[in-house]
Structure 1
Amino acid sequence: MAPHHPEDVRVKAARTPRRAVAAADRTRQPTEVRRRLIVEAAVPLIAERGYASVGVRDVAAAAGVSVGTVTYHFGSVQEILSEAMVLHIERYYAALSEAAEHATSAAEALRLLIDALFTEDTDRHWRMWFDYWSAGDQETDLAFARGQAERYEAWHGQIRALVERGVADGDFVCEDPDGFTVRFAALADGLALQRLRQAPPLSTEDARLHLNRLVAAELGAGR
């Protein structure tokens, strides 16, 4: 049947190209690219609102896609948020590792690491880190647990490698690198939590001071 009004033709003709363009866009954007865009959009949401306060609609709006697109690529909002946390953490510690690698000595590298752990800008990182930590207690997905364990092991490995490098170069004296690593990481986490809660108040300078004192006491650095 012919359309009753000329504008009906214009409307139908206009819709066809839009569908064709959308299909072409989907062809040019493989699954990995779309997943990455969605995950990238989730990172600042977690930083601003917290892991538990971000929903699939929030992520879709931030990524500029439909809710259906998000649910097509991810099985749950937890999957999105988990990948977003991993992306942020890997970027953060990759930057720390790069700085340490360019240091002239293990002692300097450890000082740079401590300086980078506590700045005004790292409060955001620590909020995300503790959100990720807490999520591990509630998550039943084995892949999530494995990923979280890998993040912890990578962090401990970075600290231990610096200690072993310092011992080999004669900068440090340490008979138990593993034990020092545990204490250093635990103190850093505790100071970060106190820094965020401010109960009692803790400045970034004092947080660094406590870690440097541990290094001096256990490794002989700075003596």
Structure 2
Amino acid sequence: MARVRLSVAERREELLRAAVQQIEERGVAAVRIADVAAALGVSSALVLYHFSTKEKLVAAAFTHAADADLAHLRKLLGRRTSALRRLRAAVRWYAPTGQAKGWRLWIDAWAAALREPALRSVFRDLDQQWKSALAEVMAEGAAAGEFPCEDPAAAAWRLTAFLDGLAVQMTSYAGSLSRAAMLRWADEALARELGIDEGELHSSTR
């Protein structure tokens, strides 16, 4: 059966999805242009036509994955409900749950970014957008009197750093912490940064 002819945008989307999958399976260092091409049954030349080097393909793949994550975060934070409910939903989605596939992707990418300026730029922008989105809702909730949170920007920074560190531990040492304990710690961290008791967090989000 002949392959369906795709537009340039559709082809790039297909290649980026395949690249993310191959990076998840093989890691940034080991993945090759040929792996992405083989996964789709196309030539390496086609991949190189759209992304002239492996480095550009990898950076574009992570941007693609990051954009999807940011879109989901903004969907959670944009719900028509209290700031507290939105923040707890976002934290529980972002926190590692023991299903480490997605976190392996990002942890591997963080390591690669230490040596790849293009990747470092992608992740710096992603990190800033995450923190800004959280800080905006924290500031909104504080202004509405839901919680005190005197410095939303600093609170978002600390909360993100805590969750990232927890993800590294959960992913690197699987089974070292139960999912229930991890979620409890995430709730405790959120309550602490918002300046409320954890009990208030639970009662306000039922």
Classify the TM-score, shorter chain. Answer: 0.7 to 0.9
Seen in structure 2, the aligned counterparts of structure 1 residues 151 and 114 have a Cα distance that, compared at 3 Å, is: same
The separation in 2 between residues aligned to 1:122 and 1:92, in whole angstroms, is 16
The separation in 2 between residues aligned to 1:179 and 1:208, in whole angstroms, is 22
Once the two structures are superposed, the pairs formed by residues 51-62 of structure 1 within 5 Å of their partners are 51-62=28-39
Max Rg structure: 1
Letter in 2 for 1:153: Q
Letter in 2 for 1:216: A
The separation in 1 between residues aligned to 2:169 and 2:109, in whole angstroms, is 17
The separation in 2 between residues aligned to 1:179 and 1:91, in whole angstroms, is 25
Aligned partner of 1:192 in structure 2 is 167
Letter in 2 for 1:219: L
Once the two structures are superposed, the pairs formed by residues 121-140 of structure 1 within 5 Å of their partners are 123-140=100-117
Following superposition, the deviation at residue 216 of structure 1 comes to 1.9
Seen in structure 2, the aligned counterparts of structure 1 residues 107 and 182 have a Cα distance that, compared at 3 Å, is: same
Aligned pair count reads 197
Following superposition, the deviation at residue 109 of structure 1 comes to 0.8
The Cα offsets for residues 196-221 of structure 1, whole Å up to 9 and x where unpaired, read as 01278122322221121122223233
Once the two structures are superposed, the pairs formed by residues 98-177 of structure 1 within 5 Å of their partners are 98-118=75-95, 120=97, 123-141=100-118, 144-177=119-152
Once the two structures are superposed, the pairs formed by residues 180-219 of structure 1 within 5 Å of their partners are 180-198=155-173, 201-219=176-194
Matched, 1:77 2:54: yes
TM-score by length of 2: 0.85
Seen in structure 2, the aligned counterparts of structure 1 residues 204 and 215 have a Cα distance that, compared at 3 Å, is: same
Following superposition, the deviation at residue 119 of structure 1 comes to 5.6
Which blocks of at least 5 consecutive residues in structure 1 are unaligned? Answer: 1-20
Letter in 2 for 1:129: W
More helix by percentage: 1
Letter in 2 for 1:209: R
Letter in 2 for 1:59: V
Letter in 2 for 1:42: A
Which blocks of at least 5 consecutive residues in structure 2 are unaligned? Answer: 201-206
The separation in 1 between residues aligned to 2:87 and 2:115, in whole angstroms, is 33
Q: Paired residue for 1:50, among 27, 46, 49?
A: 27
Matched, 1:178 2:158: no
TM-score by length of 1: 0.79
Q: Percent identity?
A: 32
The separation in 2 between residues aligned to 1:122 and 1:83, in whole angstroms, is 24
Following superposition, the deviation at residue 98 of structure 1 comes to 0.7
